[in-house]
């Protein structure tokens, strides 16, 4: 039963069938399948299939975009199940995909999981210039700046942002967390980030750790 529903989600996502993704994601929730299981082994697994096909030139940008939209529709059904918090957030995170990069699925998952862990989230969306993060740090109530990059060509915008924070004298005011498929711990260290996480679940642990370091 679990297997079948998750396979239905994957195959609907692969076909870019938004209605199918919504229908099967709802069915998965109704069947009591764990939300994290639906996300990881349904939606993310389906996106991985698309990623492999894209790499092999079996599908192209338009198909990937359609699947990405279907993915968003599925994720929005899961979000209410993650976010069950009291009034007072445990910390504030500003999150965005860096300049030059339009990929937002992974960033949105991280954002959703952090919300679920009772962080207040300000999401700047995609293609976020360094100055926008700097301006957010100036305001004062931001604990963590979280940056996502999916392109090797946009990774450097993370370095630029950290340098811009340094140049504005704000580097010590906020913690910086980075992630995205091409990012590694080594890269994170080389640009002076405080933290790196390979996926959204680890991102939550790392964000909590950063807060406790003060």
110/113 Cα distance (integer angstroms): 5
Whose CA is closest to 78, among 26, 7, 9?
A: 26
- Comparing CB distances to ligand B12, the nearer of 116 and 179 is 179
The distance of closest approach from Cβ of residue 118 to ligand B12 in the complex, given in angstroms and rounded to an integer, is 17
Residue 178 within binding range of ligand B12, rule CB under 6 A: yes
Pick the binder of ligand B12 from 27, 35, 45, 64 (CB under 6 A).
Answer: 64
Q: Which of 20, 106, 116, 130 binds ligand B12 (CB under 6 A)?
A: 106
**Contact letters for ligand B12, residues 119-148 (x by CB under 6 A):** ---------------------------xxx
Tokens matching residue 57: 């030139």
Q: Are strands 120-123 and 175-179 parallel, antiparallel or unpaired?
A: unpaired
Answer whether 110's CB lies under 8 Å from 148's CB. yes
CA-to-CA distance for 24 and 71, rounded, in angstroms?
12
Identify which of 116, 75, 142 has the alpha carbon closest to the alpha carbon of residue 203: 116
Q: Which of 21, 179, 194, 204 binds ligand B12 (CB under 6 A)?
A: 179
Compare residues 104 and 123 and give the one whose CB is closer to ligand B12.
Answer: 104
Regarding 61 and contact with ligand B12 (CB under 6 A), the answer is: yes
Q: What does the block give as tokens for 15?
A: 């076909």
Q: Which of 6, 28, 38, 50 binds ligand B12 (CB under 6 A)?
A: 50
β strands within 1-149, DSSP E: 92-97, 120-123, 144-148
Applying CB under 6 A, which residues contact ligand B12? 44, 47, 50-51, 54-55, 61, 64-65, 68, 100-107, 109-110, 146-148, 150-153, 177-182, 197, 199-200, 203
């Amino acid at each position: 039963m679990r297997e079948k529903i998750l396979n239905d989600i994957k195959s609907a996502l692969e076909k870019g069938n938004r209605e199918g993704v919504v229908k099967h994601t709802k069915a998965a929730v109704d069947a009591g399948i764990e939300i994290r299981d639906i996300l990881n082994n349904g939606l993310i697994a389906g996106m991985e299939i698309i990623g492999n096909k894209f790499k092999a030139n079996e599908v192209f940008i338009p198909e990937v975009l359609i699947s990405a939209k279907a993915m968003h529709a599925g994720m929005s059904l899961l979000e209410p199940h993650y976010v069950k918090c009291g009034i007072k957030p445990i910390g504030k995170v500003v999150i965005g995909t860096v300049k030059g990069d339009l990929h937002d699925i992974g960033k949105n998952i991280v954002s959703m999981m952090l919300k679920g862990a009772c962080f207040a989230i300000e999401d700047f969306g995609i293609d976020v210039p360094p100055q926008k993060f700097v301006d957010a740090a100036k305001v004062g109530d931001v604990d963590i700046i979280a940056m996502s990059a999916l392109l090797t060509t946009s990774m450097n915008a993370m370095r630029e942002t950290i340098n811009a924070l340094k140049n504005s004298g704000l580097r010590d005011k906020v913690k910086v967390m980075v992630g995205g498929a091409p990012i590694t711990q080594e890269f994170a260290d080389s640009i002076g980030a405080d933290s790196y996480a390979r996926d959204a679940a680890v991102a939550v642990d790392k964000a909590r750790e950063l807060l406790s370091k003060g």
